[in-house]
Structure 1
Amino acid sequence: MKSLDVQLTDLPTELLVLILSYLPASDLLSCNLVNSPFYTIISNSVYLQYNIELYKACALDNKNCTLSCAEKLTMLQKREEAWSNCTPSFHRIVPLNFTPGSVYDFSSAVYLLGDYTRQRLHYLRLPHLPNQEPQWSVFPSDDNRHIVDFGLNLHEHDLIALVTAELHSQSTSSSSAMLSIDLSLRQFSTGDHHPLAKVPSIHVVVSELRWGSPSINLEIVGKYLALVTTFWRNPNSKCMVTVYEWQTGKMVMDINGRPESYSGVVFISENIILLPNTETRALELWKIPGPNEHSPSSPLRQLALPRLMPHNVLRFISCRGEPNPSGSIHDPKYSDRPFHYDPLDSILLLHLRVQGIHLSSLFTIFIHRRSLLNLLPPHAPFVDIDVEKPVPWAEWAPPITFCIDLGGGIPSRWITTTCGQRFVVLPGPGDDVDDSDTPEDDLRRKPRAIVVFDFNLHNVRKAERELEVDPDATTKIVSREKKVMDAQEIFAEDIVSCLPYVVSATTKKYRLDGVLMDEDRVLGLQTDVDGHIKYIESDHVIQSCTFKRICVLSL
C-alpha cells in the first residue's frame, strides 16, 4: 500500500497553531527559524506572539484579566518599548496634605507613607491612564497604636500587616515601662481585620521602653509572614527572625541571631528565605519547615560576601526584590492587570554599607532569584561542601552577580528601586545649568537624568543588535564583559562580576533626591532640608509608550 506523503505544514493552520501552543515559548522561537511556513504561521498568530513576548519580557499572563489576547499583546509590546527608551511625557501635580513620617512602601501601583503621628498611613493609588485622578486616602492603625512598620501582599491576598507598638505603663519616664509589639492583619481594600486570619492580631515581643522602637523588616508570601526584629539600642538583646503562618497565627520558624546580625529578609521562593548576616558577612538561605518538619538549626547554604580589609566594618545590609513569589495561587486574585513580571526571574538588590576610618561607601549587588535557587541542592555546583562554612565569593558569585560602587552619597533609605529585572537610580551630580529661574529650595540639588539598568538577557541582545545596525542611533550602554571593581582600601581583593546588562537614561533631567519603581512607573522623591518628603514625581509607562509624571507638593 502506498503511503501518503503528508507534511506537518499540510495540516490546517488552526490545528498547527493549537499544536504549537503546547510548546514552551523558547521552542516557539526555534520553530520560527525552521522554514518560511512555520515563520508565517507563528508570526500571524496573536496567541503565539503573546506567549513569545511574555517569554522575552520574563512576564506571566494574568488569567483574571478580561482583556483579549490581542489587547494584552499590544500593551506588553508598548510597555517594554517605553521602558527600553526611557521617554517621559506628561506631568501632573497632587498636593501632599499631611506631614510625612518615615515608614513607607511602594507596591502594586500603591504608594504608602506614614505621617508624623505614627498612627496613620496615607496611600495613593497611582493611575494607569492619563484621565485617572489620584487621591490620597488614609489607613488608620488599631486603637491609636503607633505604627512601627508594615508589610504588603496586595495582589495575592489584599493584605496589609501593621506592626504596632503600645505602652504598658502609664508613666513613660519609668524605667520599668514596657512596649508591646504586635502584628495586626488587615484587609487593605476595606481596612477591616482580614477574613482569612483566624487571629486578627499576633503578639511579637514585649520590650523595655529604653530599648527604643525596634527596627522591623517583614515580607509576606503565600501563607507565610517572615519578620526580622532588631533593637539597636540594646546590646544584650538578640536579633529575632520569626516566620508565621499568618492565617492561623502559628509560629513555624524561629531564629535567634546575635545583636545586629540580621536586618532584612527576602523570599526566594514560597518556602526559601534569604537572610543577609552582617556579622558573618554572608548570605544565608533557610528553608521554612513543612507541617511535619522541625524548625531548622542552620541554613541550607551560606554564601560569603567579598572580604573586607581589617580596618573596615560592614555596618548593615538591606535587601529587596520585587515582585515577590506567590503561594499556590499563581494568578493574582486581586489584580486586574494583564500580566506581571515572573518573580523567579526578577533581580534581588543588596545594599552593603561599609564604614572605614575615613570613608563610608555604599556597594550594591544584583542577583537573580533563580540563580540563588540553583545554588541549592539538587542543582548546586558545589561538591563535598561543608554547609557550616560559607562558600567563598569567588566560587559562587562572579558568573551570576553584578556589583557596583554607588559611593557614600547615594541614599539607601529608599530601597524599592528594583522591579522585575530593572533597577532605577539617580547618578552623581548633573552638569551645570542656568539656575536663575529656579526656586531657592531646588538649588540644593542639581538636575540629573533617571538611569535604568536592565538585566534581562533578551533586552541586552536587542540593544546589541540596535548598536550593530546604527551605533549613533541610541545612547544605550551594553555590558557583557567581566567587570572588575577595584578593591581600593575597602576590600581584600578586587571584586569580579559578570552579569550582563543594558543601561538607558531619560533625556530630560530632574531635580530629585531619590527614585523608586514598580512594574509600570518610576517614582521620584524630593525632600526638604530636614529630609522629609516634599514632592513625588511619577513617570508612568502606559499604553501609549509614555511615562506619566506626578508632582506632589506639600501644603
Structure 2
Amino acid sequence: RLEALEKREDAWRKLEPVFETTIQVNHQPFGNHGLTAGTYFLDDNNLQDLHYCRLPSSPQDNSHWVRFPGHGPAQDWSGLLVSFALAVYEHDLIINVISEIGNQTDMQRHSLDLVLLKFSTGEYHPLARHPRIHVQSSPDAQPGVIPTVLGDSLVLVVGSEENTSLHQLFIFDWKTGHKRLQHETAKEGYSTPVFVSPELLLVPNLALSSFEVWHLPPSDPNTTPPIQILSLQLPAVSHPFSIFGLTCDGGSSPFIRSIPDIVPRPFFPSPENSVIIANLRVETYRRPRSTKYYTLIISRRALLDTIQKLLVSTKPLQWADWGPPISRWFRVAESRGILTSTSAGQRCTLLFPHTHGRSTVGVVDFNPHNFRRNAEGEDNGGNGRMEEGKFDHEGRFSEEVYMGLKCVVYNAPDEYDFDAVLMDEERLLGVKVSTFENDIDFLPPLINIESA
C-alpha cells in the first residue's frame, strides 16, 4: 500500500499521463453530470434516463455506456428527470429528482419528488423507508434543482420558473423521508450547497455575495430544525462590477462509508483535510468582454476551525475577518454552463487561460508535505510552482485580497481545448462540449495520471 501511495504521489507531481484516451458519448445529453467512484454520470436529453461509464484504469480497459432508468423499477412513468445526486461511495445511492403531473384532474400542478435507488442494482434503496419522497407541488414542470447528499442528509436548492423571485432550500433525512427544513430566499439567491462536515452546510448566496453557514443537528423529528449560524462575506466588488455567478464544489470524498469500496484504493484521502471550491463570474454590462472567472479554494479543516471560533458573531462577517488565512484565489479559463472545477482530497484541478482559446490544465496541491518539498527542491522532477500571497484581481474588487493558504501548482505539459476538467483519485477527465443546432455533445477525453 505504501509503495502504491508513493507511486501515485509521484505521478501527480509530474503530471505525466500513463495513458490518454477519448470516450465518445453516444447519446444526446441534457447537461447534468457527475464523477464519483471511478464512474462518470451523464443525463439524457430525453429527460428520462441517466447513463454512466466506468472509467478505465489502463489502456486495456474497455469503457462503455450503461443506461440507468431515471424512474427506477417503476414501469408506467411519464415524468421528467430534473437532476440527480450521488452517494455511491457512502451508500451505493443515487437520488433522482423527478417531476410529473401530480393529479390528472389538475394538469397545471406538477409534483416534484425524489426517487432513492441502489446504484449497483437499479432497485429502490433498502435503507430508504420511503423509496419515493414528495418535495412540493407547483406549476413548474421543470424547476431548477441542485441536490447534494451526505450521511443521512439530502439538501435541495429549488428554483421556480413560474415565480422567479423565489428560491427554496430543502433539507430531508432521506432514510426516514422526514422534511427537516423548507426555507425561502431571494431571487436567484442560492446555488450549489456543500457540506463542510456532516453537521455543517455551506450555502452560497449570490444575492448577498456571501456564504451562509447552516447547522444541522442530529436528525430526529423531535430535535430543532437546521438553522443558519453565520454569514461569511466575499470581498467587496468594485463599481460597476457585480458577481453574476457563484457555484461551489466540495468533492466526493465521504465522511462515512457504510459499504465496501466500489473501486478498491490503496489509500483514501481524508475528507477533513480536503478543500472546498467556489467558482465566481465577475462582470459588468457597461464594458463588453469584461468578464473574469475566478476560483476561490478554501481549506475544509481551517474553515471548520474558523466557524467554531466565530460562532458568537450575530452579523455578517467581512471577508478580511475570516477569509485570507484559509483561502487561495486563481484566475481561471471561461467555463461552460454547469461545468465547474472539481477536487479530490487536498488536490483540485483548474483550467488556466492560454492563447487561441486553449487552456493549460493545472492541478493545485494543498498538502503541506508537498509544498514544503517543492520549496526545498525535493519534488523528484515535478514541475510545481509556488503561489504568492496577494491576488491580482485586476480591479474587480474594492479591497486587497490576501491569501494565506499555501499550495503548489503542477501544470500538464500539453495544452487542451477542454470546456471543463474533472478529477478523482487517479485521473483527470477533460470535457469538451460542442454545440450544433442547439444540440450539446459531450466528448470526454480521459487522462489517466496514477501510475499503474
Please give the TM-score of this superposition, normalised by the length of structure 2.
0.90
Pairs within 5 Å for 1:232-311: 234-237=163-166, 239-290=167-218, 291=220, 292-297=222-227, 299-311=228-240
Do the aligned partners of 2:79 and 2:100 also contact (CA within 8 Å) in 1? yes
CA contact (8 A) 2:341 2:349 kept: no
Is contact 1:181-1:205 (8 Å) kept?
yes
Where does residue 74 of structure 2 map in the other structure? Answer: none
| Residue 404 (structure 1) shift | 2.1
Q: Distance in 2 between matches of 1:410 and 1:220?
A: 24
* CA deviation map 1:100-140 (0-9, x unaligned): 22111111111011121011111001123443211210001
Residue identity in the other structure for 2:89: H
| Whole-Å separation in 2 of the counterparts to 1:282 and 1:93 | 39
Change (3 A) 1:507 1:363: closer
Rounded Cα–Cα distance in structure 1 between residues aligned with 2:429 and 2:261? 25
- Residues 271-322 of structure 1: CA deviation (Å, up to 9, x unaligned): 111111112222111111233431245x222211111234333223110011
Query: What residue number does 2:330 align with?
Result: 404
Whether the aligned pair in 2 keeps the contact of 1:487 and 1:494 (CA below 8 Å) is no
Distance 1:504 1:416, change over 3 A: closer
Change (3 A) 1:477 1:201: same
**Aligned residues of 1:449 and 1:508 also touching (Cα < 8 A):** yes
**Alpha-carbon RMSD:** 2.5
1:101 corresponds in structure 2 to 30
| Match 1:198 to one of 112, 115, 129 | 129
Tell me the SS of whatever aligns to 1:495.
coil
| Distance (Å, rounded) in 1 between the aligned partners of 2:23 and 2:382 | 34
Say if 2:23 and 2:445, in contact at 8 Å, map to a contact too: no
1:462–1:243 Cα change, 3 Å: same
- In the alignment, which residue of structure 2 is the partner of 1:19? none
Match of 1:163 in 2: 97
Residue deviations 1:128-158 (CA, integer Å, cap 9, x gap): 3443211210001222421110000001100
Distance of 2:30 and 2:349 partners within structure 1? 24
Q: For 2:410, give the aligned amino acid.
A: S
Work out whether residues 298 and 328 of structure 2, in 8 Å CA contact, stay in contact via their aligned partners in 1. yes
Aligned partner of 1:512 among 411, 418, 430 = 418
Count the aligned residue pairs.
Answer: 440
Match of 1:482 among 389, 394, 397: 389
The reply to whether residue 121 of structure 1 matches residue 50 of structure 2 is: yes
Give the deviation of 1:427 after TM superposition: 2.1
Matched position secondary structure for 2:175? coil
- Contact conserved, 2:332 with 2:351, CA < 8 A, in 1? no
Q: What 5-or-longer segments of structure 1 have no aligned partner?
A: 1-71, 432-444, 545-555
Shift of 1:400: 0.8
The code of the aligned residue for 1:114 comes to D
Between Structure 1 and Structure 2, which shows a larger proportion of helix residues?
1
Seen in structure 2, the aligned counterparts of structure 1 residues 502 and 528 have a Cα distance that, compared at 3 Å, is same
Mapped contact 1:253–1:289 kept (Cα < 8 A) = no
Task: Give the secondary structure class of the aligned counterpart of 1:242.
Answer: strand
Cα distance between partner residues in 2 of 1:529 and 1:412 = 12
Cα distance between partner residues in 1 of 2:114 and 2:102: 16
Residues 28-43 of structure 1 mapped to structure 2, 5 A cutoff: none
How far did 1:494 drift? Answer: 2.2
Cα distance, 1:362–1:110 mapped onto 2, change above 3 Å:
same
Contact 1:228 1:240 (C-alpha < 8 Å) held by counterparts: yes
Q: Which amino acid aligns with 1:259?
A: K
Give the whole-Å Cα distance in 2 for the aligned partners of 1:91 and 1:260: 39
Task: Indicate whether 1:425 and 2:425 are aligned.
Answer: no
- Name the structure where strand makes up a greater proportion of residues: 2
Corresponding residue for 2:361? 450
What one-letter code is carried by the residue in structure 2 that aligns with 1:163? V
Distance 1:524 1:81, change over 3 A: same
State the identity %. 30
Task: Report the equivalent of 1:539.
Answer: 447
In structure 1, distance between residues paired with 2:157 and 2:366: 29
